[in-house]
């Protein structure tokens, strides 16, 4: 899922669907972002695959549906709540891995334009962000 999400972010959100993703890179007023539409966009196939897989006893489809759902939860808690502080939770999370993850994503946001962004993944953090941890 991390690989799929990385590709979707790189080629869809920073490609065809930039219209919805751009306001996540250029902070605008208000609690909701156009970028939130991606929760719906990924929830629909996830539900269809999960329910279809369950009722038709297709375990491949069920596994993919549950995988997308699980990643959706991880994305919500890690990206929306922990990195962007959209809920006042986890303020004291302060470990090696999450600090590096946070820095990697902030680097992604340092580019305001569609092209030449980096770090499209979320949970897989490039090594260089671990090297200068704790400063
Ligand atoms: Zn982006
Ligand atoms: Zn972000």
How far apart are the CA of 61 and the centre of ligand 2, in A?
Answer: 29
133 band by pLDDT with thresholds 50, 70 and 90: low
| Distance in Å, CA 109 to ligand 2 centroid | 7
Question: What is the distance in A from the centroid of ligand 1 to the CA of 44?
Answer: 21
Residue 46 C-alpha to ligand 2 middle, in angstroms?
Answer: 22
Instruction: Quote the ligand 1 centre to 52 CA distance (angstroms).
Output: 31
| Pick from 9-18, 25-34, 38-47: least confident | 25-34
Between CA 5 and CA 115 the distance in angstroms is 17
Whole domain around residue 114: which residue ranges?
Answer: 2-131
Total number of domains in the chain: 1
**pLDDT (tens digit per residue) in 19-41:** 999 999 987 778 999 999 999 99
Give the Å distance between the CA of 96 and the centre of ligand 1.
23
Which residues have a Cβ under 8 Å from the Cβ of 134 and sit 6 or more positions away?
99
What share of the chain has pLDDT > 90, as a percent? Answer: 78
Cα–Cα distance measured from residue 116 to residue 7, given in angstroms and rounded to the nearest whole number:
15
* CA 105 / ligand 1 centre spacing (Å): 9
pTM of the model: 0.89
In whole angstroms, what is the distance from residue 61 CA to residue 54 CA? 8
């Amino acid at each position: 899922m991390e690989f799929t999400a990385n590709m979707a972010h790189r080629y869809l959100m920073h490609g065809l669907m930039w219209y919805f993703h751009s306001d996540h890179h250029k902070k605008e007023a208000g609690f909701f972002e156009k970028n939130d539409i991606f929760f719906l966009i990924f929830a629909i196939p996830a539900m269809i695959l999960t329910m279809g897989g369950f009722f038709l006893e297709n375990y491949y489809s069920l596994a993919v549906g549950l995988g997308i759902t699980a990643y959706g939860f991880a994305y919500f808690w890690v990206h929306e709540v922990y990195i962007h502080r959209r809920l006042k939770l986890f303020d004291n999370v302060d470990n090696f891995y999450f600090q590096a993850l946070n820095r990697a994503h902030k680097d992604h946001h340092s580019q305001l334009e569609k092209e030449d962004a980096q770090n499209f993944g979320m949970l897989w953090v490039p090594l260089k962000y671990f090297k200068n941890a704790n400063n």
